[in-house]
Amino acid sequence: MTILLTLTVLALIAIALWQITKIFELSQPKKENTQVADDDDNRWNGQLMFAFLIFIYAITLFSFWKWGDVLLPDASSEHGIEYDNLMWISFAIIFFTQTITQALLHYFAYKYRGEKGKKALFYADNDRLEAIWTIIPVIALAGLILYGLYTWTDIMTVEENDEALVVELYAQQFNWKARYSGEDGVLGDANVRFLQDFDGKNLVGIDATDPNGFDDVVVQELHLPAGKEVIFKMRSQDVLHSAYMPHFRAQMNCVPGMITEFAFTPTVTTEEMRQTEDIKAKVKKINQIRSVNSKALLAKGEEGLEPYVFDYLLLCNKICGASHYNMQMKIVVETPEEFEKWMMDQQTFAEVIQ
């Protein structure tokens, strides 16, 4: 109610001001044709068009300079290279076209501004010009669309591969769990109805009547072997989530009641990634900000911040509720030997429910 009253009062004040300015205008001695733009107005508008052109170019350059280093590092998956090429080529074409067309648009707006006595030329059509401005975009767009479709199909087609590691990503408000298929390479059946079984130890609802499930391994930190294809099967317990692994250029919705799929081959281990120049520079920058914030916290008598160390992450990329921002799981990419060793230390479902 208070808001409604405040809004009404504001609206009334606005109307009053508008009426006062009208009275003020009427009280002024009448000028010749004040409502019609003259040559001065038009020139002024043309120059403003130019100023706007300079503004958009300047802000583009400034953004590149200021935030160019917050882009993701090079892809850490096989298909990621294809994905990045597609993105950069599309960017380059769009950037080139927009740079030229914006310049022409604003230049013509200035050149053909209104002038007293200037008459518009009647120009019906020009077949050659129309052919050019139709054919060039057709070729460019068809090329981009075909290239995109081929890349998309290539990335999204999950081929049968007995060698591949099968991992389930299980989403729930607000955390992730991962399930490995174990020795048999087959994930046991699962359903949210079984979540309450075994005093809540059945974290992702594995069906205890399906023998395929006994060797399954459920973890809260995702480990992946470098160089091996991983087929992900996504499930959600409650609402729509999205499994987003930015460094691997991978994202797939997790939809309650169905299983979605995505596959990729990680190529760079966490340790190798930490040694790259790009990551070193990023970590350094983050830690500079952290140390400043840490000092401020310590000055207030609170606990300081730990220095940041690079890790791959699985994030949720659908706003799924209040703690969505913090719904993440660490991903460790390691050598196949390290992965095997880690896997040996994990408990199977049969061991967990004993």
Q: Which residues does 251 contact at the CB level (< 8 Å), separation at least 6?
A: 242, 243, 244, 245, 262, 317
Are 307 and 290 in contact by the 8 Å Cβ rule? The answer is yes
**Choice from 252, 273, 327, 331 touching Cu ion (CB under 5 A):** 327
Which part of the chain contacts Cu ion (CB under 5 A), choosing from 49-57, 145-153, 185-193, 312-320? 312-320
Residue 159 CB neighbours (<10 A): 8
Nearer to Cu ion, 102 or 237 (CB): 237
Residues within window 24-83 making contact with Cu ion, judged by CB under 5 A: none
Nearer to Cu ion, 42 or 253 (CB): 253
Find, among 279, 275, 232, the residue nearest to 254 by Cα.
232
Nearer to Cu ion, 110 or 244 (CB): 244
Considering the complex, what minimum distance in angstroms separates the CB of residue 169 from Cu ion? 11
Helix (H, G, I), strand (E, B) or coil at 323: coil
Residue 61 CB neighbours (<10 A): 10
Considering the complex, what minimum distance in angstroms separates the CB of residue 206 from Cu ion? 21
The whole-angstrom separation of Cα 246 and Cα 72 is: 8
Considering the complex, what minimum distance in angstroms separates the CB of residue 232 from Cu ion? 16
211 to each of 3, 38, 126, 215, 216, how far by Cα in Å?
A: 62, 86, 74, 8, 10
320 is a contact residue toward Cu ion (CB under 5 A) = yes
DSSP annotation of 102? H
Q: Give the count of residues interacting with Cu ion (CB under 5 A).
A: 4
Task: Write out the DSSP string of 265-303.
Answer: -B-S-HHHHHHSHHHHHHHHHHHHHHHHHHHHHHHTT--
Nearer to Cu ion, 155 or 171 (CB): 171
Considering the complex, what minimum distance in angstroms separates the CB of residue 318 from Cu ion? 6
252 is a contact residue toward Cu ion (CB under 5 A) = no
**Choice from 177, 179, 223, 241 touching Cu ion (CB under 5 A):** 241
245 is a contact residue toward Cu ion (CB under 5 A) = no
Helix (H, G, I), strand (E, B) or coil at 353: coil
Nearer to Cu ion, 147 or 244 (CB): 244
Backbone angles phi, psi at 215, to 5 degrees: -90, 5
Which part of the chain contacts Cu ion (CB under 5 A), choosing from 210-218, 264-272, 316-324, 341-349? 316-324
Q: How many residues does the chain have?
A: 354
Nearer to Cu ion, 320 or 331 (CB): 320
230 is a contact residue toward Cu ion (CB under 5 A) = no
Residues within window 80-139 making contact with Cu ion, judged by CB under 5 A: none
Nearer to Cu ion, 195 or 352 (CB): 195
Nearer to Cu ion, 203 or 273 (CB): 203
Nearer to Cu ion, 106 or 177 (CB): 177
Are 230 and 340 in contact by the 8 Å Cβ rule? The answer is no
Considering the complex, what minimum distance in angstroms separates the CB of residue 45 from Cu ion? 49
Which part of the chain contacts Cu ion (CB under 5 A), choosing from 81-89, 235-243, 256-264, 269-277? 235-243
Considering the complex, what minimum distance in angstroms separates the CB of residue 246 from Cu ion? 15
Task: Write out the DSSP string of 153-222.
Answer: HHHH-----TTSEEEEEEEETTEEEEEE-TTTT-PPPB-GGGTTTGGGT-TT-B-TT-GGGTT-EEESSE
Considering the complex, what minimum distance in angstroms separates the CB of residue 57 from Cu ion? 39
Considering the complex, what minimum distance in angstroms separates the CB of residue 251 from Cu ion? 12
Q: Which residues does 261 contact at the CB level (< 8 Å), separation at least 6?
A: 158, 231, 232, 233, 234, 252
**Choice from 206, 314, 316, 333 touching Cu ion (CB under 5 A):** 316
The whole-angstrom separation of Cα 147 and Cα 2 is: 57
Binding residues for Cu ion (CB under 5 A): 241, 316, 320, 327
